[in-house]
A and B are shown apart, each in its own frame.
Chain A
Amino acid sequence: MQSIRGYLRQISFLMVLAVGFATTLSTTAAAGVVGTGDVLTEQRADVDRQSLQAMLERQDVKEALSSMGVDEAEVEARIQSLTPSELADFNDQLAAAPVGEGVVGIIVLFLLVFIVTDLLCATNIFSFINCIR
């Protein structure tokens, strides 16, 4: 019994190590892709208020906005409260793919990792875990 427990303990540490390496690799890969947006940002012209308002008229954009769950009257009011330069940002973020839907399956796999990283003060996902310094 004692030997099995010791064996399991070693296995679990190995798993943590393996997942740790896997996350490191994926971080590197993701960092390479994300950088492209930063380059594009400098070249992109600001979307001005009029053109976005004009886009609002189009049915497909209306559908896109209402699919975000926001009332159309509120959307127009929210657009009016933004500066032209903020509108450029806003439109990008609005158009960005929703996060979270595809990753539900792997959350369980990362549960252990995030508990560990929370304990190490690297993340703060779980409010019930206080990190150890």
Chain B
Amino acid sequence: MTVFIRVLTGTLVLFMVGCASAPPWPETAGGGASQPPIQLDVPFFPQERYQCGPAALASMLASQAVSVTPDELVPQVYLPKREGSLKVELVAAARQYGLLVYPLESDLADILTEIDAGHPVLVMQNLGFDWFPQWHFAVVIGYDPASEELILHTDTRRGNRQPVSVFYRTWHRAGQWAAVILPPGDFPATAQPLPYLEAAQDLEVTGQRAAAFASYEAAAERWPDQPAARLGMGNIAFAQQEWVQAVRYYAATVENFPGLAPGWNNLAHALARAGCAPQSVDSLACANQLGPKSYPSDLPIFEKSSEPPSTGFACPVIQCPVAD
């Protein structure tokens, strides 16, 4: 009989979980089994029925000193008739609090690395099967390498320990989505330039200009080889109609990246608004020479401005890398 049970159990395991066997415990990030468990001090909000999204998000926001309750988040992220929240709305709501949402790589080691850096991690799980999904949001707040467990604030349980096997399977079934939520200017431990800049750009296009600017500014310092960071600073200044500031940021962009046609193009627009018409024409000509197909050789009439030069501002000299 015992043998029969063993065979039966083995068969069930093979059929039901064979497609997503848990990987070995990451050695690089989590350290060896000798390491003591790590558990971050993250505020906990037990979820109401079906409202794991608001509860998990409130926990993530509270860890960044944003004081908000799950009840206050419900109107922003909950779909009453779907009895749940969409991942994309949790991300959007976090941005509306001026925070940067950085999606992690689909790697268990990255979650542990972020925990090591003191960043709680928002995760999506499918607690059921692909054909019977039970979607769930939870917050990873720690891990224990000795027992190979992750520690989560989940549903109504504070600091619940989940074996890596069950965590990985439920996480894998939800597409291995994980994200950290940080104040702009702070970096995730696993930050890569392009995903970080995209996250900053998401802030910019959803009206969080101050947060986006702070993120671009930090990124420009950390990754001087990324043109988008400086260009983004200029674009925010331009959107705020701070023409002189925009000229300065764009000029710094093309100084560092002389071959960047969009930089010259944007500089031309900012110069026109700042009252530097001749320099604007030169700058646009430069953009046109670098990227003839993308940039016009002439600004629209309304931008060939009659605006007077801004007081106390000397129009910069345009030095195009392409010889005439």
Q: Which of A39-47, A51-59, A113-121 participates in binding chain B? A: A113-121
The answer to whether A86 touches B92 (Cβ under 8 A) is: yes
The digit string for A58-100, where 1 denotes a CB below 8 A from any CB of B, is: 0000000001111100100110111110100110011000111
Most buried by B among A31, A80, A82, A116: A82
Interface residues of B in 110-150 (CB under 8 A from A): 125, 127-134
A133 close to B163 (CB less than 8 A): yes
Q: Which of B36-93 contact A (CB under 8 A)?
A: 75-76, 79-83, 86, 88-89, 91-93
What is the size, in residues, of chain A's interface with B at 8 Å between Cβ atoms? 47
Taking the complex as formed, is A8 at the interface, i.e. its CB lies under 8 A from any CB of chain B? no
- A95 CB to closest chain B CB (Å) equals 11
Contact between B205 and A83, CB atoms less than 8 A apart:
yes
Size of the B side of the interface (Cβ < 8 Å), in residues, is 47
Q: Is B80 in contact with A122, judged by CB distance below 8 angstroms?
A: no
Do residues A81 and B92 form an inter-chain contact, with CB atoms below 8 A? Answer: yes
Chain A proximity of B184: nearest CB distance (Å): 16
Given the known interface contacts A13-B8, A90-B86, A120-B12, the answer about A110 and B169 at a Cβ–Cβ threshold of 8 Å is no
- Tell me the bound Cα distance from A104 to B122 in angstroms: 29
| Bound Cα distance from A120 to B86, whole angstroms | 29
Q: Are A20 and B170 in contact (CB under 8 A)?
A: no
Bitwise, B200-213 to A at CB < 8 A (1) or not (0) is 00100111000000
Which residues from A are CB-within-8-Å of B133?
99
Q: What residues of chain B lie closer than 8 Å to A77, measured between beta carbons?
A: 76
B9 is an interface residue with CB less than 8 A from chain A: yes
The complex places the Cα of A88 from the Cα of B127 at a distance, in Å, of: 26
Q: Which of the candidate stretches B25-33, B154-162, B216-224, B270-278 sits at the interface with the other chain?
A: B154-162
Which of B79, B155, B157, B170 touches A70 (beta carbons < 8 Å)?
A: B79
Tell me if A124 and B86 are in contact (CB < 8 A): no
Q: Is B165 an interface residue (CB 8 A)?
A: yes
Let me know if B17 is at the binding interface, CB within 8 A. Answer: yes
B15 / chain A contacts, CB cutoff of 8 Å: 20-21, 23-24
Q: Are B156 and A83 in contact (CB under 8 A)?
A: no
Main secondary structure of the interface of B (DSSP, over half): helix
| Chain B CB within 8 A of A30 CB | yes
Once the chains bind, are B89 and A123 in contact (CB under 8 Å)?
Answer: no
Closest to A110 in B: B132
Mask of B1-32 contacts with A, CB within 8 angstroms, 1/0? 00011001101110111000000000000000
Q: Does B95 contact A (CB under 8 A)?
A: yes
B305 at interface, CB cutoff 8 A:
no
The answer to whether A131 and B166 touch across the interface, beta carbons within 8 angstroms, is: yes
Which B-chain residue is minimally distant from A73 (CB atoms)?
B75
Interface membership of A16, Cβ < 8 A:
yes
Q: How far is the CB of B161 from chain A (nearest CB, A)?
A: 9
B245 within 8 A of A: no
Tell me the bound Cα distance from A58 to B187 in angstroms.
42
- Which residues of chain A are within 8 angstroms of B289 by Cβ–Cβ distance? none
Partner of B12, one of A16, A78, A83, A114: A16
Knowing A69-B80, A84-B205, A89-B88, say if A124 contacts B127 (CB, 8 Å).
yes
Specify the chain B residue showing the minimal Cβ separation from A126. Answer: B127
Q: How far is the CB of B159 from chain A (nearest CB, A)?
A: 14
Residue of A nearest to B94 (CB): A81
Chain A residues with CB under 8 A of B93: 81
Contact A67 B81 (CB under 8 A): yes
Q: Does B279 contact A (CB under 8 A)?
A: no
Contact B4 A13 (CB under 8 A): yes
A123 to B5, CA, bound (A): 20
**B-side interface residues toward A, CB under 8 Å?**
4-5, 8-9, 11-13, 15-17, 75-76, 79-83, 86, 88-89, 91-93, 95-96, 125, 127-134, 155-157, 162-163, 165-166, 169-170, 202, 205-207
* A-B contact sample (9 more), CB < 8 A, given A27-B130, A114-B128: A17-B11, A20-B15, A23-B131, A27-B129, A74-B75, A81-B92, A82-B89, A90-B89, A133-B165
17 A-B pairs within 8 Å (CB atoms) are namely A23-B15, A27-B131, A30-B131, A69-B81, A71-B75, A74-B76, A78-B92, A82-B92, A83-B205, A99-B133, A103-B132, A117-B17, A120-B13, A120-B17, A121-B169, A122-B16, A123-B169
